[in-house]
Structure 1
Amino acid sequence: MFHLGRSGRIGLLASVAMIGGWVACLGEEPEADGSSREALSRFVGLYCAECHNAEDKSGDLDLERLVAEGVEANPHAWEKTVRRLATRQMPPADAVRPRERAYESILATLEASLDRAAADRPNAGRTETLRRLNRTEYQNAIRDLLALDVDASALLPNDESSRGFDNITVAGLSPTLLDRYITAAQKISRLAIGGQGRSPGGDTFRIRGDVTQEEHVEGLPPGTRGGALIPYTFPQDGNYDVQVRLTRDRDEHVEGLHEPHDLEILLDRDRRALLTVTPPKVDTDHQKADEKLKVRIAATAGPHQLGVTFLKNPSSLLETKRQPYQAHYNMHRHPRLSPAVFQVSITGPYAVKGTGETPSRRRIFVRRPTGPDDEVACAREIVSLLTRHAYRRPVADADLEKPMEFYCSARADGDFDAGIEAALGAILVSPQFLFRIEPDPPGVASKTAYRISDVQLASRLSFFIWSSIPDDELLDLASRGELHKPDVLEGQVRRMLGDERSRALATNFAGQWLHLRNLDSTTPDLRLFPDFDDNLRQSFRQETELTFESVLTEDRSVLDLIQSDHAFLNERLAKHYGIPNVYGSRFRRVSLGEGGERGGLLRQGSILTVTSYATRTSPVIRGKWVLENILGTPPPPPPADVPALEDNTVASNLSVRERLAKHRADVACASCHKLMDPVGFSLENFDAVGRWRTQEDGKPADATGGLPDGTTFTGVDGLERALLKRPELFAAALTEKLMTFALGRGVETYDAPAVRKVVRQAPERGYRFSSLILGIASSTPFQMRNSE
């Protein structure tokens, strides 16, 4: 026995690695046999031990020790190793690397051991016992409970995000937030019942200042331009005042008012008023230009579509050498050509005629009392049904006590409807409604995995797929203890995916996964991108949501999100992309020819814009986005002392690629940037607002790039082809994101066996979207939970 010093050890390991490289070249590389620790030891010795040994511990990982102790003894460390091997990030691209067959063999060995250990000792993870409904879930729950659409963003504050989603950090309820929920419950219960307030109420709706209003707004009648289509629930039958205020400049002059314009007020596409706004005769009359844009209309209680829009005057096409600007909202660069609506105020009701027969009242009043002696029994039946749906479970007599107390108190001072309104308000502020509650069952040993109840499973399914409460069919199956049965569960998942409520996966899940919510706070530099406005911003969002929704509703392969032969466009977006023959505000599916620049997610303006700076593209942000959201291997956060990439340094005359090369010269920066930068460079044919370009700063755009596994390519075509060569990586990344969203907690290394199971089943089902959802719904983390 003898001991080698550190330098001798490294030299010996380097020699072993070199020999391994020669063997690989000769085609005689040792293979793992699928079960042998010796095979794993040989692999680690050849390719890993030079860095991951007892002395160096690169990445705080001593693989030699871990091999000796056995895979099952250290699942956390080996799962991290599996991820690096699966994405071919280990060994590094500049080191001696195994052939593909050896990668696959050693991964099979490791994954089999890890999966066996997970099956023997299930670790389902633990969600919070109390999780508050976030703002989106609250809004959808009100919709499905009361057949009432409300704008929760006007009632409740934003939810904080964690792990990319806002349904994770929702355990607490501060006094301020509780007050907001109480106020919301009072407004919602009054609106649902049609109760009369002490005085006429009102709501004001404002249009963003950067909206161009020169063309037709989808949903409004043809021949109109600008304005807004406002979904609005009128509380009672009666009269309501509608007042319109036009957009003004800093001098309080109405913008674009050079000639008379007709303003139309519509209710469900029926004209209720036609008003005319005329240019003021003297400058001091500008502030009075829209003071007469007020009208009183009659409306029945319930949901309606209020339209406020201008009749479109004939206009000529601007003759220019280039495409005319589409944005007309900036009074300095592209002033409005015509007046625009700034805000619409609705006040009322006046001359109340009754509560009407609204969808909400039909949903709530399942029966009416036959007389005074029947009122309590009738109220109890109504309250019982409401609590069953609101609390998402069978209810007991104790659940009805508090709402019935509120009913009786309010009924003593008012009528039957007032009592039901008070009871509904009590239900809407109950913790049983505001929180998803998953208590540990009695008698379960500490820190052991147990199967959740069918009632809890029903809520997990509905909040996963619908971002809302379970319906009657789910609750009935859960109450009978049948929901967990595999065939029943699959049938319910497919039914739920076919329901229009599953669109929440496109707007809520995809909106967060793909960072679409960041669009609202993204405004490119208007000096460099003068044609950017909110119309384009919302078109970006809708294109991506429709792309995701089409894969979901048509149950196509999730790989179609990466590469597609069609795009969803309207005229505004098509002009931005340079695609001809698309007209009007309506979005439609447009087939793309070969060699086009549009299609999959990586080619869409939404993602390209939110991964750019206001003045230029960012290969770093784009590369990090792809690694995190498409490959599921985000780089580690930068150290605190790493300097940022400066634009205003001596090197600012260099291209972004050249500046990043200097940045990578810093050893502290290189480890992460060598992973991110090549991926981002492949998207350099798209500018900061997603337009295609072949030139950058007067030079040919350089879109050569690569992946962390050493693959090199050019442009977005090459990136897509490289991603589709390893479809399991994208399927795994998407599964992890979906599982995070479904569980309301981060996916940890102990969830990796469940993710692998979902991904292994996906190819035989054509990577269909439903295969991922079904796999997650059937997984151990989704159907089980660890006790405290």
Structure 2
Amino acid sequence: MKTLAAVSAVLGFTLALIGGGTYVAPASTESSPEFVSPSFGSHIALAETVIDHAEVVEQYCVRCHNDRRMTGNMSLEHFDVSAPEQNAELSEKMIRKLRAEMMPPPGVRRPAGDTLLSLVLALESSMDAAAEANPNPGGRSFQRLNQAEYGRSIRELLALEIDAGDYLPLDTKSANFDNIADAQMLSPMLLDSYFRAAAEISRLAVGDPNVLPSSKTYTNGGYVSQWDRVEGAPFGTRGGLSVIHTFPADGDYVFKMAFEHTTTGGFFGGTSRDEQIEISIDGERVGLHWVDRFMNVSDPNGVNMQTEPIFVRAGPRRVSAAFLRQAEGPMEDLVSPHEWSLSDRQIGVSGYGVTALAHLKDLAITGPHEPTGVSETPSRRQVFSCRPLTPEEAPLCAEEIISRLGPQAFRRPLTEGDLEGLMSFYELGFADGGFELGVRTAIEAMLASPDFVFRLEEAPSGVQAGESYAISDIDLASRLSFFLWGAPPDAELLTAAEQGQLSEESGLTMQVRRMLTDSRAEALGTRFASQWLRLEDLGEVHPDRLLFPDFYQQLADAMLRETELFFNGLVREDRSALELYSADYMYLNEALA
């Protein structure tokens, strides 16, 4: 609950900043009207009668919550109403119960008038004043990049899309959030994962003409319906898979396809004749193959097919393996087809009258075989901002590249020691394989550095253990960007931090407003709201296929995306958070409509 309350407070501050006026914290002696219970009445002036709050607690609370009865496992027998901050935990419990009208319980005599409102306001005022006089922001252990933050950091730094789950283990969660520092464990296996990721990602970013063949498999879940075209695939196709795959080098690649089969091992969709599957790269057809409808899992190759080697250039490419659409419009079936095309794996297999189409299950991309080099890619353009024409220019060019990428990776200005250390790694790589290998080795050192993996914050000099202090603007920039964007700070935010603008309310407000209008702020929906509302649990909801044959994966994805868009709309348009309950509008696509 502490975590959720803290996150909600930050979100509330963010929502307030995008409003029309400047954010002003409420005075500690007042209670915000939106939190006043309806039965207490609106936020009006209290009666002028002096109320003895100690007497109220003694008369209406202590008779149950005393040392002898200990109702609710709490005693108010020695509670000092005039100094509730001396027992803050107990005071907070009282405030919550009074605000929720849970105490005194129903059926028990209650004080008349606004006595309870007066009591809860007095408790809140004293607690707020004590917190203001002696702020306690709590401690902060080390924090590392989780999977989502790691992937976004790589994208911002190297213009390279990766699936961090390919390199890093699952994140531990607390209160369903995966970015809670106290829950983030550190182990030798995890450190090894970061080192291995640094090596493989730097190789992907720069390219390696001597890379060995490897295989990557993309899977279609059995709940995915394959009646229609999938997003990214060429028009005129249906079903299959369409993915962005990063090819490490120019060379020949083999595309292997596995198809869905029936419960008895036969090819699913065997009653549909003349099925063809198309392989395309960036929308251009590179292969077209007839599908053998008589395949069986007992065959030497099972229900699988593969292409001949196909030459593909390095870099991120849209790879699609999809069936050619054979017909449009209604089907002349004995029964109306369900939205989930694979709701029954046996119907229509051994007879006719029910359409059962072929389904692609897996697409594996293997290669490169006989690599010929590395073409220009977005990540190479991001890295190589200069090219040495002579051996003497190589160190200067490498230093320029490292001086530009280093502050982005470490999320702070580079020190002389940082630069010297990274240049030493460049020299090691240069000695082994020349300029590009040297730059790649320096990038690998950046990604393996604690300054990249961990979100380190240094206390000012002279601060004693347990003493509160204001964090630096540089550290605040990282906190802001990872909360609002789920990504590292950009150049403008870092510049503002270096100039000390984030320490001023006007500078902080300006940056937060700018960040909320940036497209990267969609992370508030896909990251914060998704975990807060447990939207990822939709992936675990699979109703019985025979009872609900029209529930399929694309529909579940649309439900999740609708909630993300709705939440981002609340933030973007500065609407009330209560519209999560009361809104009379929603976001729809064809599947959800």
TM-score in terms of structure 1 length: 0.64
Distance 2:384 2:113 in 1: 66
1:501, 1:218 → 2: CA distance? 22
The answer to whether the 8 Å contact 2:146/2:178 transfers is yes
1:51 to 64, 85, 94: 64
Q: Could you say if the C-alpha distance between residues 275 and 124 of structure 1 is closer, same or farther in structure 2, counting changes exceeding 3 Å?
A: same
- Give the CA deviation at 1:104: 3.6
Q: Where does residue 756 of structure 1 map in the other structure? A: none
| 1:277 aligned residue | 291
Assess, with a 3 A threshold, how the Cα gap between structure 1 residues 133 and 94 changes in structure 2: closer, same or farther.
Answer: farther
Instruction: Quote how far apart the aligned CAs of 1:544 are.
Output: 1.9
Q: Note the 1:108-507 alignment, pairs <5 A.
A: 108-128=121-141, 130-168=142-180, 169=182, 171-258=184-271, 259-280=273-294, 292-314=305-327, 317=330, 324-332=337-345, 337-350=356-369, 352-507=371-526
- The verdict on how the C-alpha distance between 1:545 and 1:461 changes in structure 2, with shifts beyond 3 A counting, is same
- 1:498-647 correspondence to structure 2 within 5 Å: 498-526=517-545, 528-574=547-593
Q: Give CA-to-partner distance per residue, 1:371-426, whole Å, 9 cap, x none.
A: 21121222122222222111111111211333322221121111211111111111
The separation in 1 between residues aligned to 2:504 and 2:305, in whole angstroms, is 64
| Matched residue type, 1:242 | F
Amino acid at match of 1:489: L
Query: Residues 429, 439 of structure 1: CA spacing in aligned structure 2 closer, same or farther, 3 A cutoff?
Result: same
**In structure 2, do the counterparts of structure 1 residues 312 and 96 end up closer, same or farther at CA, with 3 Å as the change threshold?**
farther
Tell me the SS of whatever aligns to 1:65.
coil
Deviation for aligned residue 1:180: 1.4
Q: What aligned pairs does 1:17-56 form with structure 2 within 5 A after superposition? A: 38-56=51-69
* Cα distance per residue 1:162-186 (max 9 Å; x no partner): 1221112454321111121111111
CA distance in 1, matches of 2:305, 2:120: 74
User: For 1:440 and 1:283, how far apart are their aligned partners in 2?
Assistant: 65
SS at match of 1:305: strand
- Tell me the distance in 1 between the aligned counterparts of 2:113 and 2:515: 40
Q: Distance in 1 between matches of 2:446 and 2:256?
A: 35
Q: Alpha-carbon deviations, 1:218-252, whole Å to 9, x = none?
A: 33344321112201222234443322221223444
Would you say the 8 A contact 1:193–1:360 is kept in 2?
yes
Q: Report the alpha carbon displacement of residue 117 of structure 1 after superposing the two structures with TM.
A: 0.9
Compared CA separation, residues 180 and 283, structure 1 to 2 (3 A) = closer
Give the conservation status (yes or no) of the 8 Å contact 2:265–2:296.
no
Residue type matched to 2:463 in 1? V
After superposition, the C-alpha distances for 1:484-524 in whole angstroms (9 at most, x for unaligned) are 21111111111111111111111111221111122223333
Q: Deviations over 1:729-766 (max 9, x none)?
A: xxxxxxxxxxxxxxxxxxxxxxxxxxxxxxxxxxxxxx
Change (3 A) 1:99 1:311: farther
1:97-154 alpha-carbon deviations (Å, 9 max, x no partner): 45784444333222111111111111111111x2111111111111111111100112
Instruction: Structure 1: state its 5+ residue gaps.
Output: 1-24, 575-788
Structure number with higher helix proportion: 1
In 1: Cα distance, 2:120 partner to 2:475 partner = 36
* Inter-partner Cα distance in structure 2 for 1:283 and 1:346: 22
Number of residue-to-residue matches in the alignment: 543
Q: Could you give the per-residue CA deviations for residues 437-483 of structure 1, whole angstroms, max 9, x where no partner exists?
A: 12332211332211000111011101111111111111111112222
Task: Indicate how the Cα distance of structure 1 residues 295 and 395 shifts in structure 2: closer, same or farther if over 3 A, else same.
Answer: same
> How far apart in 1 are the matches of 2:296 and 2:53?
85
Residues 297, 303 of structure 2: 8 Å contact kept? no
Q: How does 1:693-704 map to 2 (within 5 A)?
A: none
Whole-angstrom CA distance in 2 between matches of 1:271 and 1:551: 42
Does the 8 Å CA contact 2:262/2:346 hold for their aligned counterparts? no
TM-score by length of 2: 0.84
Q: Is the 8 A contact 2:211 2:248 kept in 1?
A: no
Structure-2 residue corresponding to 1:15? none
Cα distance in 2 between the residues matched to 1:415 and 1:402: 18
Is 1:277–1:289's contact at 8 Å kept on the other side of the alignment?
A: no
1:563, distance to aligned residue in structure 2 (A): 1.9
Checking the alignment, whether the CA contact within 8 Å between 1:254 and 1:289 is kept in structure 2 is no
Over 3 Å counting, the alpha-carbon distance change for 1:256 and 1:573 in structure 2 is same
Q: Check conservation: 1:53, 1:62, Cα contact below 8 A.
A: yes
Moved more, 242-251 or 312-321: 312-321
Q: Which residue of 1 aligns with 2:5?
A: none
State the partner residue of 2:29. none
SS at match of 1:483: helix
CA contact (8 A) 1:252 1:287 kept: no
Letter in 2 for 1:524: P
**What is the identity percentage for the equivalent residue pairs of Structure 1 and Structure 2?**
40
Task: Tell me the amino acid that sits aligned with residue 302 of structure 1.
Answer: G
